[in-house]
């Protein structure tokens, strides 16, 4: 009889990365579907922090490095008054996209342990 082979460390890490990517992708899909489920009469979300708007501009332009750099600089200088949680979630997603899995996991874990702000809990379309 042959002993069962243990998977190599590289194979285990690769499997873990694929699992994390699919899990994070599922989180983003759920978040986007919640946003898309808003009734037509609801006003579009407004960006209230100038620096967060700049970050989103770079992000939607597919310039992820500039978005991450601007985001981390604005966080360091405490420029976000209204969009702290959204900025932190975006930072986790961007770091995950750059393969910084441990840092992204720490960000997501911190976000999951925070209380939901009352504004988010009462917004239409978020269940």
Q: What are the structural domain ranges in the chain?
A: 48-127
pLDDT of residue 125: 43
pLDDT of residue 62: 93
pLDDT of residue 84: 87
Give the chain as a DSSP string. -PPPPPPPHHHHHHHHHHHHHHHHHHHHHHHHHHHHTS-TTSPPP----HHHHHHHHHHHTT-HHHHHHHHHHHHHTT--SS-HHHHHHHHHHHHHHTT-HHHHHHHHHHHHHSPPPHHHHHSTT--
Per-residue tens of pLDDT for the chain, all 127 residues? 555 566 676 766 666 666 555 556 556 555 555 544 555 566 777 888 888 999 999 999 999 999 999 999 999 999 888 888 889 999 999 999 999 999 999 998 888 887 655 544 444 444 3
């Amino acid at each position: 009889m042959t002993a069962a082979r243990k998977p190599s460390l590289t194979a285990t890490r690769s499997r873990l990365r694929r699992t994390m990517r699919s899990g994070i992708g599922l989180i983003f899909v759920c978040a986007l579907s919640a946003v898309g489920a808003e009734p037509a009469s609801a006003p579009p979300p407004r960006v209230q922090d100038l620096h967060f708007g700049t970050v989103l501009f770079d992000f939607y332009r597919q310039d992820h490095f500039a978005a991450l750099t601007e985001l981390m600089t604005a966080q360091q200088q405490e420029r976000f008054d209204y969009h702290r949680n959204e900025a932190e979630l975006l930072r986790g997603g961007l770091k995950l996209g750059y393969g910084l899995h441990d840092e992204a996991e720490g960000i997501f874990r911190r976000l999951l342990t925070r209380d939901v702000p009352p504004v988010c809990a009462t917004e239409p379309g978020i269940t």
